[in-house]
Amino acid sequence: MKYAVVALLHAALAIAAGPPDTWVPIRWEGGPLEAARPAIATWYEPSTLDLLSGSPVNCLLLTLSGGADAAAQKEQLRLVAAYSRAARAKGLATLGVVKPGARPAEIAASAAAAGVDGVVLEGEFEGGVKFYREVEQALRAKQAGAVVIPITGPSAHPPGAWPVVAISEGVQPGIRELSDIDATPSSEPWIDSNTWLVRSVRAWSGKRPVWLSYKLDKPAPDVYPRAVADAAAAGGRWVVALDDEFRAGLRRGDAASKQAWHKLSSALRYQQEHALWRDYRFIGPLVILQDPASKHADLFGEYLNLIARRQCPYTILQRGELAAERLRGSKGVLAVDLKELRAAERKTLEDFAAQGGTLISGPAAAAGAAKGEGYATRQSGKGEIVAYPDDPPDPEAVSKDMRDLLGGDAIKVFNGPSVLTCLSSDDADKRVLVQMVAYSSAPSDRVTLRIKGEFRKARLFTPGEPPADLPAEQDSGTTEIVLQKVALWMTLLLEK
């Protein structure tokens, strides 16, 4: 009876907090298990919840278990239980972060005692999927309605109906100094971005929210909203992780910390206000086939990353979804990641080329081309087959060739070398969304966008500002729009 009452109360509070796809998560560590971090060790005082007042953040990742001694763990559980009750009374969801070391029954007992909405399993747990499922079963046995969210690398993410696909990888978005990396043959800035990673994961995650869980390294204040924008432009979420100095400054009420928090909150609010944009489908002249069983998963990510940097819009199609109707309207298909094509796959791809498309393949279709000599082409009906002799082809070379092979007319960005774009469309193809993220701290002035298609209306959205209608000039099947300044994150909504 006691557990039934607790479960009913838990369910009622969970409804107030909202389902997982509405959660705006933030790491909110504290307690004796964080004793090595003095700035946040005493964080679980109810007053720190006031820092979130007026913010769109509605999901706290709390330190629940960290393999400490029994006394510290007991005190941690007491603090988290009280803090979770206070947070959930304010309509916030709470998730308990658990590190390897505890058994499933112990994790479930702690989660039930703390009254959290979910358990985040972070790290490498012995048994992998089996361990996660045992935690689920143990939670059900406790009649605790908490969900389980594993945080892993994308290639190691366990199969199953987890409510959130949480990825442990991610880079700090921005422009790197060339001295930090190997010199490149181009004059383009080296942009670190996670949009490709979010898009790759979303290609197989279905409708579930995708979270990137990584921490920033001594970030400047503008890096926080950029991390939000970088993930959100591709339809994902960054799990906000404030550094300890930032959190201490917020608690003291420092003006600089409050201003930085306001800008971060503005970016999060912007993402929430336009949550429906996540349902738009990505568009572009290129379809990139993704093979979940590929032995070159890391290299495949480089294809996505570098092609995006060269402003060549693409869509990602899982190998198992390959069908003629899914390729219709595309100019090219990149299939270098597929090995040993099945007969049906080969026919679909060859038919695509024969009907006027460009099939970009690996050495299986190289037709005698020697390694290191770029690519070879051969006519195939109305189209062509482009074959790279190397296995796998070099991502840098492939990305450079894409615009030449496919025309490069889907979108062109002038005077915005630090700006990356993501193109998507509504189901009726009446609206096109251009997400723009600037990876330099200095705004780009007078950026011109030339987009394929003739659009009557152009409306610009910017976090914290009212929408603005812009003049759109149509010419020969394209639309040109001039932006006087591209700030950190802007979105252009075009209507035919």
Q: Encode pLDDT of 236-251 as tens digits.
A: 999 999 999 999 999 9
Residues 6 or more apart from 120 whose CB is under 8 A from it?
61, 95, 96, 97, 98, 149, 150, 151, 166
With 70 as the cut, is the pLDDT of residue 371 above it? no
* Mean local confidence (pLDDT), 400-425: 91
Statement: residue 16 has pLDDT above 70? no
Residue with tokens 């300890």: 244
Cα–Cα distance, 278 to 125 (Å, whole number) = 32
Candidates 3.40.50.300, 3.40.50.970, 3.20.20.70, 3.30.230.70; correct CATH number of 2-279?
Answer: 3.20.20.70
Residue 399 has pLDDT above 80, yes or no: yes
Mean pLDDT estimate for the chain: 90
Task: Judge whether 284-406 and 411-495 match in fold.
Answer: no
Task: Give the pLDDT score at 296.
Answer: 76
Split at pLDDT 50, 70, 90, the class of 15 is very low
Parse the chain into domains and list their residue ranges: 2-279, 284-406, 411-495
Sign of CA dihedral 101, 106, 109, 112: positive
Q: Which of 141-150, 172-181, 257-266, 369-378 is the least confident region?
A: 172-181
pTM for the predicted model, two decimal places:
0.92
* CATH level 3 topology of 284-406: Rossmann fold (3.40.50)
End-to-end CA distance of the chain: 60
Q: What is the pLDDT of residue 228?
A: 98
List the beta bridge partners of residue 458: 494
Residues 133-182 pLDDT 10s: 999 999 999 877 899 999 999 888 888 889 999 999 999 999 986 444 44
- Confidence band, pLDDT 50/70/90 cuts, at residue 295: confident
Residue 334 structure tokens: 């990149």
Strands 383-387 and 210-212: unpaired
Give the mean model confidence (pLDDT) for residues 458-465. Answer: 96
Does the domain spanning 411-495 belong to CATH 2.60.40.1180? yes
- Give a three-class secondary structure readout of the chain: CHHHHHHHHHHHHHHHHCCHHHCCEEECCCCHHHCCCCCCCCCCCHHHHHHHCCCCCCEEEEEEECCCCHHHHHHHHHHHHHHHHHHHHCCCEEEEEECECECHHHHHHHHHHHCCCEEEEECCCCCCHHHHHHHHHHHHHCCCCCEEEEEECHHHCCCCCCCCEEECCCCCCEEECHHHCCCCCCCCCEEECCHHHHHHHHHHHCCCCEEECCCCCCCCCCHHHHHHHHHHCCCCEECECCCHHHHHHHHHCCHHHHHHHHHHHHHHHHHHHCHHHHHCEECCCEEEEECCCCCCHHHHHHHHHHHHHCCCCEEEEEHHHCCHHHHCCCCEEECCCCCCCCHHHHHHHHHHHHCCCEEEECHHHCCCCCCCCCCEEEEECCEEEEECCCCCCCHHHHHHHHHHHHCCCCEEEECCCCEEEEEEECCCCCEEEEEEEECCCCCEEEEEEEEECCCCEEEEEECCEEEEECCCEEECCEEEEEEEEECCEEEEEEEC
For 326-340, write each residue's pLDDT tens digit.
999 999 999 987 777
pLDDT at residue number 349: 94
pLDDT value, residue 336: 87
Phi and psi dihedrals of 162, rounded to 5?
-65, 140
What distances in angstroms separate CA 390 from CA 173, 394, 404, 458, one per listed residue?
31, 8, 19, 44
Enter the tokens of residue 228.
Answer: 């939000």
| Residue 12: per-residue pLDDT | 40
144 within 8 A of 10, measured Cβ to Cβ: yes
